[in-house]
Amino acid sequence: MQMIKVENVVTAFGNRIIHDGLNFTIKKGEIYGLLGPSGCGKTTLLREMVMLQKIRSGKIKILGKDVANIRRKDAQNLRRQWGVLFQFGALFSSLTLAENIALPLVEYTRLSKKMIDEIVAFKLSIVGLKQSDAYLYPSEISGGMRKKAGLARALAMDPKLLFLDEPTSGLDPISAREFDALILKLRAMLGLTVVMVTHDLSSIYDTLDRVAIIDNKKIAYEGTLDDIASVKSEFVQTFFREKL
């Protein structure tokens, strides 16, 4: 089953073309990586998928819906089915961690207060935060903790689709590996589909099923990591040198 289909996507800021005809599909249950050098538009592509940015031409279909041409109701529906982790967590600074995580639950479900408290505690625990952290404000915690809390918020509604923007950057190596393990575990249990932008080599090899490498406005390579050595791209050759 196709979760995401990207067809001939062209993105441009003014005259500057970022993507020139990207094509790939992401299947259900896959952990898919968007790789490429800085400034190649990985995060932009991710933002386009979650309807934060418009594409110039082409099509992005998520769960069968064309996001460029979507009815409000369908869009809201879609938004409930995905979770997004931003690069710096993007927690709401006026709310505590617990309130941040509880927000979608409070707004979209009729769960009891007690149940929500328990869900919050569970989500905090799986991302590796302590229960006592729940009552801190985002300004009182470190960048790594913000990221974990951001993931807990993204997971609050048990989404089917998870978008992660550099999930392990800024985390210490132990937390980063735990993060990878958690993603794999969640995928195995809940059948999550994960799309992530990452630069973390161990994360790439440990978690990703398939990757799309964006270089020079095009997809330089798409597929599993096994055949990556054959790619004639300076980025790929340098980036994967150690592992090739």
Partner 1 sequence: MKKVFSIECSDVNLLLKFEGKVNLYEVPKYEKKLAKVQTNSIKNITIDLSNVVEIDTTVAIFIYNIQKKFASKKVNLVCYDEKLLSTLELVQENMLHYNENVKPKKLSFLQKIGKIFYDYYDGLTAFISFFGQLFASNLRYLTSFKNIRYKEIAFEINESAIKALPIVALTSFLIGLVIAYQSAYQLKIYGANIYIVDMLGISIFRELAPVITAIVIAGRSGSAFASQIGAMKITQELDAMKTMGFEPFAFLVLPRIIALIIMMPILIFVADIMAMIGGMIVANVDLSISPELFIERFSQVVAAKHFFVGIVKGPFFAFLIASIGIYRGLMVKDDTQSIGFNTTKSVVEAIFAVIVCDAIFSIAFTNLGI
How many residues touch partner 1 under the rule CB under 8 A: the total is: 31
Element (H, E) at 82: strand 82-85
CB of 189 to partner 1, least distance (A): 5
Q: By CB under 8 A, which span of 3-11, 71-79, 136-144, 222-230 interacts with partner 1?
A: 136-144
Under 8 Å between Cβ of 123 and 137: no
Q: Does residue 38 touch partner 1 according to CB under 8 A?
A: no
Q: Report, in Å, the least distance between residue 16 CB and partner 1.
A: 24
CB within 8 A of 201, min separation 6: which ones?
239, 240, 242, 243
Task: Kindly identify the residues of this chain, within the stretch 156-175, that bind partner 1 according to CB under 8 A.
Answer: 157-158
Shortest Cβ distance from residue 105 to partner 1 (Å)? Answer: 8
The number of C-alpha atoms within 13 Å of 221 and in the hemisphere containing its C-beta is 21
- Count other Cβ atoms within 10 Å, centred on residue 98: 21
Among 25, 87, 109, 202, binds partner 1 (CB under 8 A): 109
Decide if residue 88 touches partner 1 (CB under 8 A). Answer: no
Site stretch for partner 1 (CB under 8 A), options 26-34, 58-66, 103-111, 166-174:
103-111
Alpha carbon 242 to chain centroid distance? 26
Binders in 43-72 for partner 1, by CB under 8 A:
none
Task: Check: CB of residue 93 under 8 Å from CB of residue 137.
Answer: yes
Walk across the sheet containing 2-13 and list its strands: 16-27, 2-13, 57-62, 65-66
Tell me if 192 sits within 8 A of 29, measured CB to CB: yes
112 is a site residue for partner 1 (CB under 8 A): yes
Asked if 130 and 152 count as a contact pair (C-beta separation under 8 A), the reply is no
Residue with smaller CB distance to partner 1, 70 or 121: 121
> At its nearest, how many Å lie between partner 1 and the CB of residue 200?
24
> 41 or 138, CB closer to partner 1?
138
* Contact in structure between 92 and 148 (CB atoms under 8 Å): no
Cα(169)–Cα(189) distance, rounded to whole angstroms? 25
Q: What are phi and psi of 99, to 5 degrees?
A: -70, -35
- Work out how close the CB of 118 gets to partner 1 at its nearest, in angstroms, rounded to a whole number: 5
Options 68-76, 172-180, 186-194, 235-243: segment touching partner 1 (CB under 8 A):
186-194
- Give me the residues that bind partner 1 (CB under 8 A), please: 93-94, 105, 109-112, 115, 117-119, 121-123, 125-126, 131-132, 134-135, 137-139, 155, 157-158, 185, 188-191
